[in-house]
Structure 1
């Protein structure tokens, strides 16, 4: 528009916008990245220091295969151009031999490298947008899902690094990688582009409204989904419309997408929404639950120190919850294989039924007094809602390799432990001796309904995510891990509690319905095994 440039794109074409904008091109007016990452290492590739050998590995391998010369694999349109003698394509592809060998770089760098990697002289900050988004000067629109099966839900951890004077709009919701294209999101993206690139009062064309339902029919299998009405149709001047727009809060949360009453279960439509001035939400309060020796979560810690113990068995459950094709997980009726916990290879704690709704929005922390019979072990924590109707719903997870437990104390808070993941900070456990380990729950927004119970489980990684799997430590001898309860060093769960959103339906959303939050029949754990006294 009149020499003004705006960028659009989801996933890789979204992530790349952050890199471009950080170079401050003179004609760039706005960017609108969707379903992105904040930190290649911490957010997707090595969550908690554990190699993601599911989606992350597969994606990297596909890029290598598509770019290999003289026989690219997978990119059919590239192969056809080469076969047809396209000289420019052949020349461009020949340059791909200069690309960094992604798989080699990944395998050679299991720690967060600060500098000196071939191809990345400044270390992994080079591929961590959180490290350079402070250089962005143009208006930015971001949207993502907490349970994104590809790029993950860590993206919001960088939002506090955007310059305060840059117009920023953020939408977060439950859902999949493609839910950043949902009608309540894409309509706001188009609105944003009208304000900052076209510089006109936002209005979605009738042609776009007519074509849009086909997008969601293809992605979700739900017909009849339409774009919301234009919000600024009553304004007569662009200046007054933009002033009203810029007075709105920066952050918007869509709650219970897929569970709106009257809509098809799993449709890409939220039940309600709320806003906030910034992220993390300034008014969020730490809600603490202590882990009890009897498997309870309570407001008070047990007076006496004890522990519960479990077998470290990464292969006890299926590695992931979805086995269909990648696009199938986007459907409203996606089928998950989310099996109940194995009592021998996990420990879990559940609260009493809640007397009122508990809304959370933000990061969380599972603070463990932890011991292992091995010098290192991998941990996954998973937050779920145990409903009064006998179903259990997935909420969010977090991961940590125990040797990566060192915190970046300058960045960590009570709600948000940040780990350095550097080699110099890595330290083995002393077998049998207790260590303080804080496992970060990825950011999430969810309402636990009155009558439901909050549940947190601890196990080896695997069996709770759709496409993420993990290359876990494989011990040569049987390993047992223990979690301390009670006493001065009682383990605890800390969540970001916020005010329950207005307009939330009273009734529980059906199981299944909420996008990317599968349900299973709740199975109470067998008698959990008391562990050793942790010292």
Structure 2
């Protein structure tokens, strides 16, 4: 690959951190580098014993060169280090920390061209980055408003996503086409908005160098370095960039923005999560469904190419891409993520602290357009817990929609998304691009099998200045926009369209309590008595959609084939209210508090809130799970420590974040309590088998459900059974206790 003069200059700056030649006469020339809290070595003889020493000669770490001749030493303090071993005394490397000053600006003088590039990071590792333009444009037509999509999926693969997707449909798969999961940056930003887009491949994946760290500090500061490099390109309008993307590339934005790169203008994360722990171990219980399959795919794609890894890696290496081939050398240093999970069952572990999205969110100071679904079946609905961590930032707009992971890309939301990016990244008066509205007639039917629909036109296009348009956007766009009854709107039954919305200035905190009473009633006042059940996680399907743990689009259709069965026999409790005398709009964080004792020292619990209509049809609304050992003080879980149940009754509060639903007058609210599993599309829980021998007893005098309620009526009749997106529907069957 051709190296520009600017890249050579940047490499010169890095010599303090990166060495390339061993100093020993034993002739083991190696390549070494130092970055954020770690140092690496490549090109040693496999099996060579290595020690990392500081300037004083003190041992800082050690290991053995792997089968590719590489080693990474982690968790280092800032300072100078060198590797020593048989025939090796490396050049010194400089290790930095999270709070160290950024690299010299000369690092960011690298020049990028259209197509595939390799951007050098502060530790000398290079990341693949593909510059994409609107069809028919070239860089000399710029400058362009520019966004970055940062992902470990097949992202920087340099061919065209749309052409690749069409080819795959007819059996002509292009190994160098990006995954459809990165459609936001690869296609929507470029072909819908007319922006330039940079598809940045995360370290340890694809043709990028390094090891895969799953959102570690190194990956966060890689984003900083890439943003600073891209922002300085001559073809970038205003020399500030935005970030876009859904799921993986939504999550990555939170880390990137938390590093506060000066050339970052705004971020627009979709379908993120609040915390890797809450998705991987919801309620402290390992998610052996979607989270497990997602991690296995990441492990497989982090294998070194050309034999392993992503399809485009083999194609690039076999086509002569020597940089891509060289970048595979550190892949065997990727840590065993499943061992990390086994060894770190609590949220207190460093592996989770380092990857704490709330901590990064506390630092974000650029405008944010945050979108997510209330029943996200993949990353989960707990992303709403990030909202409070953005309270310090006045320029935050949150959209929440009932529905699935994909539904963040709904047409009503995409219109606001376009306005946001045009105002805060392009610094333009919003306009409706000619490709925007018709795009929905293609994208939504392909993803949901629903009829196509046009994306609504943007607002404020009649503003005379950008400043006036921004002022109108801020005045007329609520901080929180909640889109209800998705599946019951203009797109037809099950289609991606919300029937009604609510605008709020903040995340709601107003709640009501309903008490678990005898005979399975849910009442306005507490009552006495106890009721016992025998939780059994194996007496119904683990999840409601058979293939949803591995088929990521299984839940996105207009009427998914849910298999939502009640907990049979005495394995679950049910509590149901009287018919509501008025509408109840529910939005916010909910929970179920149980005063409970068990024959086991640890019991796993699941609670689900649902609606039963006048026709006897039950629709799921929200589910929460908790391992009792993480109950904390009983008012809220504490995932940093585990405590067995005490003898007698214990208070346990199981969060359901969020609850979002319009309960209509005449319908009834139901709460069920069971072992985890059977109520969610793709999450499965690694909860111990009980054989029906564990008995949990609930003291009804101090057990209740907390429901977040906001003012307003619920318009219309609502979607028919099974067509409310994100919610399963079944015929209501009372539990053995009557509710």
TM-score with structure 2 length normalisation?
A: 0.65
1:357-376 aligned at under 5 Å gives the runs 357-376=583-602
Are residues 168 and 109 of structure 1, via their aligned partners in 2, closer, same or farther at CA, if it must alter by over 3 Å? Answer: same
Q: How does 1:122-521 map to 2 (within 5 A)?
A: 124-247=352-475, 248-260=477-489, 263-279=491-507, 281=508, 284-302=509-527, 305-324=528-547, 325-407=551-633, 418-423=636-641, 426-430=642-646, 433-475=648-690, 478-486=693-701, 490-500=702-712, 504-521=714-731
Residues 1:166 and 1:93: Cα distance change in structure 2 (over 3 Å): farther
Deviation at 1:430, TM superposition (A): 3.4
How many Å apart are 1:485 and its aligned residue? 0.9
CA distance in 2 between counterparts of 1:101 and 1:307 reads 46
Q: Which residue of 1 aligns with 2:315?
A: 80
Q: CA deviation at 1:339?
A: 1.5
TM superposition shift of 1:71: 6.2
Q: Considering only aligned residues, what root-mean-square deviation do their CA atoms show, in Å?
A: 1.8
Judge which range, 224-233 or 187-196, deviates more.
224-233
Partner of 1:232: helix, strand, or coil? coil
Residue 66 (1) aligns with residue 301 (2)? yes
CA contact (8 A) 1:293 1:306 kept: yes
Larger Cα Rg: Structure 1 or Structure 2? 2
Change in 2 beyond 3 A, CA 1:357/1:101 = same
TM-aligned CA deviation for residue 208 of structure 1: 2.4
Q: Which residue of 1 aligns with 2:280?
A: 45
Question: Do 2:544 and 2:679's aligned partners in 1 also have CA atoms closer than 8 Å?
Answer: yes
- The corresponding residue for 1:413 is none
CA displacement at 1:2 relative to structure 2: 2.3
Give the unaligned 5+ runs of structure 2.
1-236
Aligned to 2:292: 57
Tell me the CA shift for residue 342 of structure 1: 1.5
Tell me if 1:525 matches 2:525.
no
Q: Distance between the aligned counterparts of 2:433 and 2:304, measured in 1?
A: 44
What SS does the corresponding residue of 2:722 show, helix, strand or coil? Answer: coil
1:69-108 equivalent positions in 2, closer than 5 A: 69=304, 73=308, 75-108=310-343
Q: 1:343 offset after TM fit, Å? A: 3.3
- Residue 527 of structure 1 and its aligned partner are, at CA, apart by 4.4
Alignment partner, residue 533 of structure 1? none
The offset of 1:134, in angstroms, is 1.4
Determine the C-alpha separation between the residues in 2 that align with 1:237 and 1:39: 39
SS of the aligned residue for 1:205 comes to coil
After superposition, give the CA deviation of every residue in 1:306-346 in whole Å (9 maximum; x if it has no partner): 11111121101100001243213111122111113313210
Secondary structure of the 2:328 match is helix
* 1:447–1:500 CA contact under 8 A, matched in 2: no
Distance in 2 of aligned mates of 1:477 and 1:452: 33
Check conservation: 2:302, 2:309, Cα contact below 8 A.
no
Q: In the alignment, which residue of structure 2 is the partner of 1:414? A: none
Contact 2:306 2:313 in 1 (8 A): no
Deviation for aligned residue 1:475: 4.2
Give unpaired runs (5+ residues) of structure 1.
410-416, 530-535
Q: 2:498 is paired with a residue of what secondary structure?
A: coil
Quick check: 1:67–1:93 contact (8 Å CA) kept in 2? no
Shift of 1:422: 1.5
Please say if residues 12 and 36 of structure 1, whose CA atoms lie closer than 8 Å, have aligned partners that are also in contact.
yes
Asked if 1 retains the 8 angstrom alpha-carbon contact of 2:543 and 2:680, the reply is yes
Q: Distance in 2 between matches of 1:336 and 1:13?
A: 28
Where relative contact order (Cα < 8 A, 6+ residues apart) is larger, the structure is 1
**Which deviates more, 199-208 or 267-276?**
199-208
Given the alignment, which residue of 9, 16, 21 partners 2:257? 21
Question: Which residue does 2:194 correspond to in 1?
Answer: none
Q: Is the 8 A contact 1:343 1:528 kept in 2?
A: no
Post-superposition shift, 1:70? 5.0
Question: Number of residues paired by the alignment?
Answer: 499
User: 1:267-288 CA distances to partner (integer Å, 9 max, x unpaired)?
Assistant: 1100111111112x2xx42211
* Distance in 1 between residues matched to 2:431 and 2:347, nearest whole Å: 45
Structure 1 runs of 4+ aligned residues shifted over 6 Å read none
- Give me the whole-angstrom Cα distance separating, in 2, the residues matched to 1:85 and 1:335: 46
Q: What CA deviation, in whole Å up to 9, does each residue of 1:402-438 have, x standing for no partner? A: 111004x9xxxxxxx5422113xx111135x110111
- Per-residue Cα deviation, 1:217-236 (whole angstroms, up to 9, x for no partner): 11111223111122113322
Equivalent-residue separation in structure 2 for 1:315 and 1:79 (angstroms) = 42
**Offset from partner CA, 1:453-493 (integer Å, 9 cap, x none):** 1000100000011110000023478111111112xxx2001
Is the 2:440–2:452 contact (alpha carbons within 8 Å) kept by the matching residues of 1?
no
Taking structure 1 as the reference length, the TM-score comes to 0.90
Structure 1 pair 349/527, CA: closer, same or farther in 2 (3 Å)?
A: closer
- Tell which deviates more after alignment, 101-110 or 325-334: 325-334
Give, in whole Å, the separation in 2 of the partners of 1:348 and 1:484.
14
Contact 1:175/1:515, CA 8 A, preserved across alignment: yes
